[in-house]
Each structure stands twice: as structure tokens, then as C-alpha cells.
């Protein structure tokens, strides 16, 4: 069975705006997280769920799938919306 691994990534964080694109070791944080999940064994699909085109662009630059989900109250809601696509 294929597992869907969803990374919720909101650009407009109240505590640290732009956090998903903060560089860590030269890579956006959300890209580093996605790469770690890609290394998990098993049949899986890694997807970044976001509300911001800049995150989609960063993901595409690194060949990582990302989807626009629009506004959601929480990361859980963003993941649920992505899982139902």
C-alpha cells in the first residue's frame, strides 16, 4: 500500500514568517524535510501542501511535488484537504 506523506507549509507563520523557505545548509527548510521523507523506505508519495506560490516554486526547483491548498485554519486541515485531492 502506498503511503502519502504530506508536509504542511504555511508561509505566513505568525512567529516566523517565511519559515518554510528559511535556508538550512543552503536549502529551504521544507526541501530538507521533503528529502528526509523521500529517504524513508517503502512505497510512498511525498507532497508539500502550501498556501504560497513561492513554496511551490522552491519545491519544483528541487523536483519535489507541491500543491496549493488555499487558506486553512491549521496544518491538519491543510493535510486533510491535500489527502482528499
22 Cβ contact list (under 8 Å, min separation 6): 16, 28, 29
- Find the domain containing 36 and state its range: 3-83
Per-residue pLDDT of the chain (85 residues; tens, 9 = 90+): 889 999 999 898 788 889 999 999 999 999 999 999 999 989 999 999 999 999 999 999 999 999 999 787 887 788 888 888 8
Maximum pairwise Cα distance, the chain: 37
Q: Which helix (H) or strand (E) holds 65?
A: strand 65-68
What was the pLDDT predicted at 37?
Answer: 95
pLDDT of residue 76: 79
**pTM, two decimal places:** 0.89
Tally of residues, the chain: 85
| pLDDT number for residue 34 | 97
**Number of domains within the chain:** 1
Amino acid at each position: 500500500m502506498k503511503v502519502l506523506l504530506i508536509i504542511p507549509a504555511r508561509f505566513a507563520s505568525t512567529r516566523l514568517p517565511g519559515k518554510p523557505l528559511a535556508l538550512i545548509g543552503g536549502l529551504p527548510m521544507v526541501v530538507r524535510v521533503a528529502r528526509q521523507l523521500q529517504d524513508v523506505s517503502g512505497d510512498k508519495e511525498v507532497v508539500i501542501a502550501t498556501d504560497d506560490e513561492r513554496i511551490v516554486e522552491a519545491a519544483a526547483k528541487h523536483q519535489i511535488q507541491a500543491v496549493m491548498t488555499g487558506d486553512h485554519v491549521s496544518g491538519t486541515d491543510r493535510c486533510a484537504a491535500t489527502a482528499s485531492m
